[in-house]
Structure 1
Amino acid sequence: MRKLVYGMNVTLDGYIAAPGDDIGWSAGDGPDSSPSDELFQWWLDQEVGIDVMLYGRKLWEAMSSHWPTGDQQPGATPAEIEFARNWRDTPKVVFSSTIDKVDWNARLVTGDAVAEITRLKAEDGGPMRVGGATLAAAAVRAGLVDEYEIVTHPVLVGGGTPFFNALDGWVNLALVETRTFPGGVIMTRYETRR
């Protein structure tokens, strides 16, 4: 059975995007907000260990607008080059009822996301990562997420897209790792207690 991981960069007040889907707080548009090389390398190390990436439409559109050619961008670092190559090579499943085509080693699922994630989890293989707040919320509510990787940035945005949406009940977690990165960024990793 595969493990399902949900992890993203998050503001201190719990948002993955500010109003208007603005993620500039994590990409270097504000003071002290650019990701450190150490943090980027950590994300790369996590992604290399993932066998299947599961994306909602918005995150798919964001990732597929940059990473297919991210290794060809002027000034791309060795880690960015490796991240782009890994992104292209890793199988991806995109869940959306509003787009009709995906590429870059991806397949589109327009039906029941929870049923498909449940089916994928039951297969043998390495871990899967779910990304995108709406898709992840469905997986969390269905009890499918085994691990949470929360990378908290020291910024408050006051609203936007929350990392956690409303739950149907409590989810008990066990803290398994913490790590501090430059700029006051803190990673906490939790496993779901079953």
Structure 2
Amino acid sequence: MTAHSRVLTSLDGQRYHFEPGNFCLELLVTGGPGPGEAYEILHAPDDLAAWLVDSRLAEVAPVRIEDLEITAEALAYTRRFRDTMWSVGTAIAHGQAPEKSHLQVINEAVGPLPRPRIDLETGKRAWAPPITGAQIVGAAAREAIDIIDSPRLRQCASDNCYLLFLDTSRPGNRRWCSMERCGNRHKVRQHRSRKGVVSS
């Protein structure tokens, strides 16, 4: 999938662009355990459906609400996978071994994928309906396996930011979730620190 940034809003109201690097990591911005609880948006099946319309899946073909089949059970399954991926991704980003039980959750989630097709009316790419919750998690799980041992799976270097991303930059030196937010704050702190040293 092509680069696809999302506009996120921090708890203090700041809006910024975040490029997670793949669909699996994009799913993590919907909430999660611990610090992610404050950002939880998946409260009902319709919430996941609305979020998917603007997800990386839409980079392949348009995602239409009427083509999504998200049940309450599928929502719970998606949230369980997402929360597990938070633990796995954080461990990997810090050079630690994920728990085997968490890796098993990912293995068990690998299943059917959303099926692309050619729309007979428009002649363009589309998704074959219905797109189910199991297909959504299946797509995310396959990407999770692709990055499970990647040295480019990172966590934002800010002390109070937990976002995970795949560093797809050519030099491989991305440190921040977003230069608009954490990267800029780091620059401001560095600038103030240098001024303090000079004035002393």
The higher relative CO (CA closer than 8 Å, separation ≥ 6) is in 1
Structure number with the higher strand fraction is: 1
Structure number with the higher helix fraction is: 2
TM category, shorter: 0.3 to 0.5
